[in-house]
């Protein structure tokens, strides 16, 4: 039998030829694209987009308004707006003296102090509620903590000055007398016994931001994957080790974002600080026993006498700085949270 | 007293004379209420039933008393007064939103023209109707009588005198041992007519000591600020060694002791009569019916037995240019306020008008067209 070279066109001839094979048309991966767009879809899309745009437009409008009213007043300022820390003199609106150095220091100081007190306490409450508390107790405890958020801030202010300050007075006096080698406890420009100091205000502010941090942390800790907790328990971990190895790493970014929310609230708190913090005539000196104004309480203190657009503009300029400060703090918080989440 | 009856007679004749003038000069609307006094009451009750006013919070309680008296004297009448602050009150008056304004200070120079425009080209008048005494409340254990004067107060609130047993204070308080504690001055941290008047008082009575000017924000350079009168009262109560300026009624309600002021002829306590003496000695800044006070004359008074630290609050009205209803109602309210309304003022913490002053005030009220 002779071996012949087979005809490649015959089937099964050995050399595989690339036969033209009809490829199906590539389908887009987006399942919604190309589907029929009905009227309801269009309306809903418009509403959703409209809401998003509205919010951005609103924020932009507020920013523009603040700038527009602040700039004429800044032009009439005889001092450097960022480095002047003394008394605001705005009676003669053609030559005003105002600056935010003192306001910025007091705002940041009292907010950070409140945050440092509130963060550990909120962490403890959230862990207790989600990991340690029996089911019957966790519910009412959550309710009580959330009730703290419902108290109006003016009630906090009045309670802080009239009830809490006298109670804290012996403790504050002891700190001032015995620990005043530390800059935090030196005598400041408000009297320690009078109670209108950053010490009292910071503690009240901590109570005010506690429910926010606790609520966010609680929601995040509750979502720790059951599997990881079970695995840790199975490996013989104690309660605390379970929390330390599974709950905390998982919930840390949520906890931090809750803390930043609380910080944002603390930066903008107006009435409580207006009532508690005493006004001062000398510079802020980074001690807990100083008084002073924050941005918001400075504006609120004079709001009823804004009878001139330049005088109002000076205070609106302070409001603009607070607006930007809160913006920056929130962006930084988001960056931190996003960075951790990406790991 | 003889003087009172002369005053009353004067008021009645002035009222009758101006009624006659008013009926011819003010508007041609015949139903203007100048002729319709209610039977059995000595008040004129003409004009519209609802007046609006806005402004100073310092006179709010007094206005409430006046409103009650007006409602009793003239049934159906009511004034709605909104305590938004003197600045807002003056602004709203100029913007024609309210019938008259309550203010802790007379119209500012820049506002006089705009107010005249509001009144149809006629000047606006500042009528001082409510006087409130300002007390120097202090907190010193064991010191039941404290005497200060304007010079000492100026130095305390500028931080130049720092201790209670300073020789300047001790010189005024012979016989009292003052403790060696720090003085903690307390001021009003919010924009306030009380601060403005206190600083004006220091500038007028102690010009060589007080260097910081006036204004509704405290400029002294020493002390701690509290929010509103209630805050000042709380601060003085809570801080040993504190001294603060505050309206009399909240301080009296809290039981705080008041310092006596020495104008040069001995220590004067804060009582209604002593404050009335100071008001009676005050002069007006201008001739005519605009009764803006020359505050320097009030605050630098050296009259014996006069307590000079008094807050004068004004009602800013149009001299002419109201429509007939409003004009009659404003006059009716002001007259009732100056007469029947004075009865309960003292209890509310204000000073009833001294008689000669009241007569002069009613003269201006009658001249409103």
Determine whether the interchain pair B215/A278 forms a contact, defined as Cβ–Cβ distance below 8 Å: no
Tokens of A81: 């707006």
Q: How far apart (Å, rounded) are the C-alpha atoms in residues B313 and A300?
A: 24
Nearest residue on chain B to A281, alpha-carbon basis: B221
Determine whether the interchain pair A194/B215 forms a contact, defined as Cβ–Cβ distance below 8 Å: no
pLDDT at res. B303: 87
Per residue of chain B (369 residues), give pLDDT as tens: 454 555 555 555 555 555 555 454 444 444 444 444 443 345 678 888 899 999 888 888 899 999 999 999 988 899 999 888 787 888 899 999 999 999 988 888 888 899 999 998 889 999 999 999 999 999 999 999 999 999 999 999 999 999 999 999 999 998 889 999 999 999 998 878 889 899 999 999 999 999 988 888 888 888 999 988 889 999 999 999 999 999 888 888 899 999 999 988 889 999 988 999 898 888 888 888 888 888 888 898 888 889 999 999 999 999 888 888 899 999 999 999 999 888 888 888 899 998 888 999 999 999 888
Residues B307 and B270 sit within 8 Å (Cβ to Cβ) = yes
pLDDT at res. B285: 86
Helix (H, G, I), strand (E, B), or coil: what is residue B94?
helix
Overall average pLDDT of the A111-118 stretch:
96
Size of interface A-B (CB pairs under 8 A): 89
pLDDT at res. B337: 92
Task: Output b/e per residue, B247-268; b: 16+ Cβ within 10 A.
Answer: bbbbbbeeebbbbbbbbeeebb
Q: Worst-scoring range by mean pLDDT, A35-39, A104-108, B101-105, B116-120?
A: A35-39
Residues in contact with B21: Cβ distance below 8 Å, sequence separation at least 6, in sequence order: none
> Is the pLDDT reported for residue A3 higher than 50?
yes
For residue A275, the chain B residues in CB contact (below 8 A) are 227, 231
pLDDT at res. A8: 66
Length of chain B in residues, anyone?
369
Run of H or E including B135: strand B124-138
Q: Looking at residue B347, what DSSP letter applies?
A: T
| Rounded (10°) angle between helices A248-268 and A309-342 | 180
> Is the pLDDT reported for residue A92 higher than 90?
no
Name which of B44, B131, B108 is nearest B333 in CA terms.
Answer: B44
pLDDT at res. B148: 93
Overall average pLDDT of the A304-330 stretch:
88
Neighbouring C-alpha atoms within 13 Å toward the C-beta of A331? 6
A280 touches chain B (CB under 8 A): yes
pLDDT at res. A25: 79
Average pLDDT, rounded, for chain A: 89
| Single pTM value for the model | 0.78
Residues A272 and A153 sit within 8 Å (Cβ to Cβ) = yes
Give the minimum alpha-carbon distance from B225 to chain A in angstroms, rounded to a whole number.
4
More reliable by pLDDT, B24 or A179: A179
pLDDT digits (tens, 9 = 90+) for A64-73: 999 999 999 9
Residues B124 and B318 sit within 8 Å (Cβ to Cβ) = yes
Overall average pLDDT of the A94-116 stretch:
93
B184 touches chain A (CB under 8 A): yes
Q: Which residues pair with B134 in a beta bridge?
A: B247
Give the minimum alpha-carbon distance from A89 to chain B in angstroms, rounded to a whole number.
8
Interface test with B, best of A289, A305, A309, A311 (most B CBs within 10 A): A305
Closest CB to B239: pick one of A193, A304, A305: A193
Among A17-26, A55-64, A83-92, A333-342, the range of highest mean pLDDT: A55-64
Residue with tokens 């003199």: A89
């Amino acid at each position: 039998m002779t071996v012949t070279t087979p005809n490649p066109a015959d089937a099964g001839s050995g050399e595989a030829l690339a036969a033209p094979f009809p490829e199906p048309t590539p389908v887009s991966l987006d399942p919604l694209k190309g589907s029929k767009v009905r009227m309801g879809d269009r309306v809903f899309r418009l509403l959703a987009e409209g809401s998003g745009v509205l919010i951005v437009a609103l924020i932009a409008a507020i920013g523009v308004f603040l700038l527009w009213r602040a700039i004429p007043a800044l032009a009439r300022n005889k001092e450097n707006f960022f480095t002047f820390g003394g008394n605001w003199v705005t009676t003669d609106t053609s030559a005003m003296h105002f600056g935010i150095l003192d306001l910025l220091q007091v705002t940041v100081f009292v907010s950070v102090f409140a945050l440092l007190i509130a963060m550990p306490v909120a962490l403890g409450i959230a862990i207790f509620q989600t990991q340690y508390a029996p089911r019957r107790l966790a519910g009412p405890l959550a309710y009580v903590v959330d009730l703290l958020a419902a108290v109006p801030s003016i009630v906090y202010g009045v309670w802080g000055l009239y009830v809490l300050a006298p109670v804290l007075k012996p403790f504050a006096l002891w700190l001032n007398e015995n620990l005043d080698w530390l800059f935090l406890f030196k005598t400041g420009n408000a009297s320690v016994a009078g109670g209108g100091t950053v010490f009292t205000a910071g503690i009240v502010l901590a109570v005010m931001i506690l429910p926010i941090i606790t609520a966010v942390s609680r929601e995040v800790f509750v979502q720790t994957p059951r599997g990881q907790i079970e695995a840790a328990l199975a490996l013989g971990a104690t309660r605390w080790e379970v929390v330390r190895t599974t709950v905390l790493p998982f919930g840390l970014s949520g906890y931090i974002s809750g803390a930043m929310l609380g910080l944002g609230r603390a930066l903008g708190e107006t009435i409580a600080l207006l009532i508690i913090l005493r006004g001062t005539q000398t510079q802020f000196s980074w001690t807990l026993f100083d008084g002073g104004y924050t941005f918001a309480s400075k504006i609120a203190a004079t709001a009823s006498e804004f009878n001139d657009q330049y005088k109002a503009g000076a205070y609106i300029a302070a409001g603009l700085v607070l607006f930007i400060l809160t913006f920056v703090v929130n962006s930084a918080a988001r960056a931190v949270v996003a960075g951790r989440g990406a790991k | 007293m003889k003087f009172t009856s002369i005053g009353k007679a004067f008021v009645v004749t002035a009222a009758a004379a101006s009624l006659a003038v008013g009926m011819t000069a003010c508007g041609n609307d015949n139903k203007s209420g100048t002729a319709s006094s209610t039977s059995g009451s000595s008040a004129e009750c003409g004009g519209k039933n609802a007046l609006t006013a806005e402004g100073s919070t310092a006179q709010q309680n007094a206005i409430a008393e006046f409103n009650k008296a007006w409602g009793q004297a003239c049934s159906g009448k009511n004034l709605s007064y909104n305590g938004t602050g003197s600045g807002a009150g003056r602004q709203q008056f100029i913007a024609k939103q309210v019938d008259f304004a309550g203010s802790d200070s007379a119209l500012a120079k820049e506002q006089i023209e705009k107010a005249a425009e509001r009144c149809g080209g006629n000047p606006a008048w500042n009528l001082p109707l409510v006087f409130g005494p300002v007390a120097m409340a202090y907190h010193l254990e064991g010191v039941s009588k404290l005497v200060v004067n304007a010079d000492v107060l100026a130095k305390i609130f500028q931080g130049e005198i720092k201790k209670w047993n300073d020789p300047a204070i001790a010189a005024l308080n012979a016989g009292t041992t003052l403790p060696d504690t720090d003085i903690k001055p307390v001021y009003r941290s919010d924009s306030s007519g009380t601060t403005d008047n206190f600083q004006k008082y220091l500038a007028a009575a102690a010009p060589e000591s007080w260097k910081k000017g006036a204004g509704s924000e405290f400029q002294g350079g020493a002390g701690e600020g509290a929010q509103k009168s209630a805050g000042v009262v709380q601060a003085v109560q809570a801080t040993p060694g504190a001294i603060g300026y505050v309206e009399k009624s909240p301080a009296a309600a809290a039981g705080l002791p008041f310092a006596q002021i020495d104008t040069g002829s001995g220590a004067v306590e804060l009582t209604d009569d002593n404050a009335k003496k100071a008001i009676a000695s005050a002069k007006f800044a201008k001739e005519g019916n605009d009764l803006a006070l020359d505050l320097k004359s009030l605050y630098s008074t050296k009259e014996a037995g006069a307590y000079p630290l008094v807050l004068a609050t004004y009602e800013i009205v149009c001299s002419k240019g109201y429509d007939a209803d409003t004009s009659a109602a404003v006059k009716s309210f002001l007259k009732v306020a100056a007469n029947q309304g004075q009865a309960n003022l003292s209890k509310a913490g204000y000073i009833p008008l001294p008689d000669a002053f009241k007569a002069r005030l009613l003269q201006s009220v009658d001249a409103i067209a």
